[in-house]
Structure 1
Amino acid sequence: MPGRFFLTRPMSEIAQALNVRCDVDLQPPRKNIQPGQELIVLTAHGLTPMRWGMIPVGRVNARGRPVMETIINARSETVFDKTAFDGVGRAVVPVDGWYEWTGEKRRKTAWRIASANGSPLFFAAITDSWQAPGGLRVDQFAAVTCPPNADLEPIHHRMGVLLDPADIQTWVTGTEDDAKALAQPWPDGLLQIEEASDVDWSGP
């Protein structure tokens, strides 16, 4: 499942791939997008900035207890059923790819994962809005995950739900049943995986 994203192509190219207007501010190339930072996502209203990580203020679990941890990723198997996700919206996160790690602490290997043909990747996400102290509204999202395909299985036990461009509108505006049907592992052989030894993990 995505622990960091990267997006180095212009947002105008992303907008063209999605066939939407690009009214958002341009962003510099980003090789290390971390949870808690802002990304541009596609909602039913177009491209909009959102914070990666849902602060679940007011949300409770099935036992009625408050959900305390910030939600970065949500499991596709339960995201439509858990009380903690009642009322969330759906969006798509367009990126060039993401990173995963293998190995023991202090000896971890970072892996860069991208589309084999160089096209953008579109992650399924859920969205929410948090009313921060002082009345500030923070729009936020969490990536939706599923079991890995054969490409990712040696690296991680989960992967983000990736969407074919033809299915993006169904995820964003379709019925819950239609969205559930899209929450499947990406077909094998469509990803490029390489060691990411050139990334400054403290930088943008």
Structure 2
Amino acid sequence: MPGRVFLTTPVSRIAESLGLSAEMGDDPPRWNIQPGQEVAVLTPDGLIRMRWGMIPVGRVNARGRPVMETIINARSETVFDKSAFDGVGFAAVPVNGWYEWTGKARRKTAWRIRPADGGLLWFAAITDTWAAPGGRQVPQVATVTCAPNADVQDIHHRMAVILEAADLPAWLEGDTDTRRSLSRPWPEGRLVIEPADDVDWQAP
């Protein structure tokens, strides 16, 4: 499941492809986007910046206990049913790919996963707003995961739910049954997996 992603396509080009205005402005290519940082997010209101990672203040589990850990990824098998996700919004995160690691601690191998056609991937996501100290409102996002496809299963037991561009409106504004039907592994053969030893993992 994605814990680091990268986005090298300019946001203005993404906005243009969607028929939207590029009000966010462009960033330099970002090869190592980490949880806690801002990412571009497509919502029903357009492209905006959100913090990756949902601080679940006020959210409780089925037993009524507070959810304590920051939510980076939400499982598609439970996101539509768990009380901790009541009232979330739905969005999509554009990326050019993500990273996974295999091997033992201190001897791990980093892998880059990207689309074979070199284009964008749209990660299904959920959103909410954290009321931070001082009254600041922080929009935040978590990606949605599912079982891996055959391309990914040898390096991780989960992968992001990836949406076709044509299915974005259905995820953003469809009903629960429609979103469930879209929460499936990406078709095999459409991803490339390669070593990612050229990334500075200490860099922000």
**What TM-score, normalized by structure 1, do the two folds share?**
0.98
Unaligned residue ranges in structure 2 (runs of 5+):
none
Q: Secondary structure at the match of 2:162?
A: coil
Structure 1 position 82 matched with structure 2 position 82: yes
Are the aligned partners of 1:18 and 1:165 in contact in 2 as well (CA < 8 Å)? no
Tell me which moved more, 23-32 or 134-143.
23-32
Q: What's 1:91 paired with? A: 91
Aligned-residue Cα RMSD (Å) equals 0.8
Deviations 1:8-58 (A, max 9, x none): 121112113333221112211110000000001000000000000000000
Are the aligned partners of 1:148 and 1:157 in contact in 2 as well (CA < 8 Å)? yes
Deviations 1:44-88 (A, max 9, x none): 000000000000000000000000000000000000000000000
In 1, the alpha carbon distance for the partners of 2:134 and 2:25 equals: 25
In 2, the alpha carbon distance for the partners of 1:179 and 1:54 equals: 20
Structure 1 position 150 matched with structure 2 position 183: no
Q: What's 2:129 paired with? A: 129
Q: What's 1:31 paired with? A: 31
Structure 1 position 197 matched with structure 2 position 197: yes
Runs of 4+ residues deviating >3 angstroms:
none
Are the aligned partners of 1:10 and 1:26 in contact in 2 as well (CA < 8 Å)? yes
Q: What's 2:73 paired with? A: 73
Are the aligned partners of 1:147 and 1:159 in contact in 2 as well (CA < 8 Å)? yes
Are the aligned partners of 2:36 and 2:53 in contact in 1 as well (CA < 8 Å)? yes
For residues 42-191 of structure 1, the aligned pairs below 5 Å read: 42-191=42-191
The share of aligned pairs that are identical, in percent, is 66
Are the aligned partners of 2:115 and 2:121 in contact in 1 as well (CA < 8 Å)? yes
Deviations 1:144-176 (A, max 9, x none): 000000000000000000000000110001111
In 2, the alpha carbon distance for the partners of 1:17 and 1:101 equals: 32
Are the aligned partners of 1:39 and 1:50 in contact in 2 as well (CA < 8 Å)? yes
Are the aligned partners of 1:113 and 1:192 in contact in 2 as well (CA < 8 Å)? yes
Deviations 1:120-154 (A, max 9, x none): 01000000000000000000010000000000000
In 1, the alpha carbon distance for the partners of 2:116 and 2:17 equals: 16
**Count of paired positions:** 204
In 1, the alpha carbon distance for the partners of 2:138 and 2:86 equals: 18
Unaligned residue ranges in structure 1 (runs of 5+):
none
In 2, the alpha carbon distance for the partners of 1:98 and 1:45 equals: 25
Tell me which moved more, 157-166 or 11-20.
11-20
